[in-house]
Homo-oligomer: A and B are copies of this chain.
């Protein structure tokens, strides 16, 4: 499974290595470490949760004097503080039985845009062949790449912060079909496109139509913004994860909010979790880190705005139409 990585590491002088894997690969990490150690390297395993290529433990590797081996995500062009060896990780998974099972629904669409995340990308080609043999034509969009939010690399690949593979083909397809796991990727898409969005969950085999979530999410956003207009105490969230670190944006947002008479504090996290700000009296949070966090509303028990939504606070409050 790690052939390419082991080949790369063979070429390396015996080194100290910090090994980082996403949560889904934690059960395998001891085994990976052992394989790498067999080549003569000294291996440390990063135990911190890892949520993406943005979440690179480069400073810890540098502190250890180690080369960072990061498994499971696409390098999206960060400038790390240590040498990094990236190892993509793809699961082999046959989507055909699940597609077969849900064909009635899928055949309602003439053209589907297929999407997935890195680990299931190999399934997309199988899915495309299968669906086209059943009369549904399929597209895999090409991510924009290279730009600030262009982090995906492969046809059909989406990330929490890069939906360009989908958006580039929205005019060509009748609906999107996401194949894999992780509902939050799809909810992000639901908000960005007007096309129907389906998810075929590779854990349960169930096909879910998430299009109906669009209106619900928009209502929640609207409610957050209205609540923020009437609120006083704002916390702006900054993460120190290399691919999420935007302190200057936080300073800019603080100034904007202060123009509106708000009381604003900037809070710095590694991983942003609600319990870290327990006991601080804040009404509204503004998230400058991972864009998926804002959809994780319930955990915070208070509204979390996206940076773009701060501008909407300058709009007048909506008045009931009978006035």
A-to-B contact residues, CB < 8 Å: 18, 26-27, 29-30, 33, 42-49, 57, 59-60, 63-64, 233, 237-238, 240, 245, 247, 250-251, 265-270, 272, 276-282
Q: Which of B29, B268, B277 is close to A60, meaning CB atoms less than 8 Å apart?
A: B268
User: In this complex, what residue of B is CB-closest to A242?
Assistant: B63
Given the interface pairs A45-B268, A48-B270, A276-B48, the reply to whether A63 lies near B27 with Cβ below 8 Å is no
The CA of A42 and the CA of B29, in the complex, are separated in Å by 41
Contact B26 A279, beta carbon cutoff 8 Å: yes
The 8 A-B residue pairs whose C-beta atoms are closest, nearest first, are A27-B279, A47-B267, A47-B276, A26-B279, A47-B269, A44-B266, A44-B268, A45-B267
User: In this complex, what residue of B is CB-closest to A269?
Assistant: B47
| A57 cross-chain contacts in B, Cβ below 8 A | 268
Main secondary structure of the interface of A (DSSP, over half): mixed
| A48 cross-chain contacts in B, Cβ below 8 A | 268-270, 276
Contact B268 A270, beta carbon cutoff 8 Å: no
| A237 cross-chain contacts in B, Cβ below 8 A | 47
| A240 cross-chain contacts in B, Cβ below 8 A | 60, 63
The CA of A278 and the CA of B277, in the complex, are separated in Å by 25
| A42 cross-chain contacts in B, Cβ below 8 A | 251
- Rounded to whole Å, the gap between the CB of A26 and the closest CB of chain B is 5
The CA of A269 and the CA of B233, in the complex, are separated in Å by 33
| A18 cross-chain contacts in B, Cβ below 8 A | 268
The CA of A42 and the CA of B44, in the complex, are separated in Å by 37
- Rounded to whole Å, the gap between the CB of A68 and the closest CB of chain B is 11
